[in-house]
Amino acid sequence: MNGPFVVAQANTGSPSGSGRSAQIIKLTKPQGGEAIVVQASYDGAVLIDFSTIANERITLVHIGEKLIILFDNQSTLTINPFFDSMGVPLSNVQVEVAPGRDLPSTELAATLPITTD
């Protein structure tokens, strides 16, 4: 591959018409064996866009305050922080699972299996 590619991109925008400025993180599958860390925020609104990786085979792992996304090509995306110090998904984080379909981080955690090993 000779051209540039975007693995994760953070922008400021307004998630779901809330009117509040937010950090927007668009996720894409890294190249094989690559490990990417994406910094989110503890207090500002964060929208994590999973829609571009929705059809990928992934495993979600909870370690400390991080959510680690494992891909079938042995690459990883780590979102830090996603959980608070008590292991609860941060309330300021929304997840876009499909265009126009946002879930609170707590609902994502309740809907999808997240392992701890």
What is residue 19's predicted lDDT score, i.e. its pLDDT? 52
pLDDT > 80? residue 36: yes
Query: CA dist 40 to 1, 25, 57, 108, 115, Å?
Result: 28, 8, 23, 16, 20
- In a domain? residue 2: no
**Given a cut of 90, is residue 58 above it in pLDDT?**
yes
Number of domains present in the structure of the chain: 1
**Whether the predicted pLDDT of 38 surpasses 90:** yes
Q: How far is Cα 84 from Cα 12, in angstroms, rounded to an integer?
A: 22
pLDDT of residue 17: 47
Range of the domain at 75: 8-115
Give a yes or no: residue 68 inside a domain: yes
Residue 13 belongs to a domain: yes
| pLDDT, tens only, 64-106 | 999 999 999 999 999 999 999 999 999 999 999 888 788 888 8
For residue 107, tell me if it sits in a domain.
yes
**Is 1 contained in some domain?**
no
In which element (H, E) is residue 92 found? none
What's the mean pLDDT in 12-29?
69
